[in-house]
Structure 1
């Protein structure tokens, strides 16, 4: 079984920095509304909790100058 590393630090109310082994991400927004996550690897995610067992999530990747996805 592999070991994992993940740390979440609250910077200000509504802003959180998540650190793991490969990247750093910032989450803006709190409970009860939409949240936006910006990752150091180019991924941007919008998510929101909806009533009941439902949720909404949409991800997009940053595109490089030549139209290719950066990795």
Structure 2
């Protein structure tokens, strides 16, 4: 097992920058109850009830576009995209509430 390096830097209330040995790994937005984690691999949205252990998480991997010569472009799951959009909006509301509190 090798050594790992991981560090989180708080940029603002509800906004963290996550670093690893290879550079920036992701950006986290939100607080307890609603979070969005955006990385090179994709976006994870989590919403839950703080202190209860009950939460819902969805993951939306980044999709690489295909050229017209290779076939049909990739189509994403529209429902998953809508859920992620709602969770992102809720996180932004939490952040704005925390900043202007």
> Which structure has the greater CA radius of gyration?
2
Query: Within 2, Cα distance between the matches of 1:57 and 1:20?
Result: 23
Q: Structure 1 regions of 5+ residues with no counterpart?
A: none
Higher relative contact order (CA 8 A, sep 6+): 2
- Residue 29 (structure 1) aligns with: 30
List runs of 5+ in structure 2 lacking aligned partners. Answer: 67-73, 75-101
Hey, which of these two has a bigger chunk of strand by percent? 1
* RMSD value, Cα: 1.7
Runs of 4+, deviation exceeding 4 Å: none
Number of positions where the alignment pairs a residue of Structure 1 with one of Structure 2: 65
TM-score, normalised via structure 1 length: 0.76
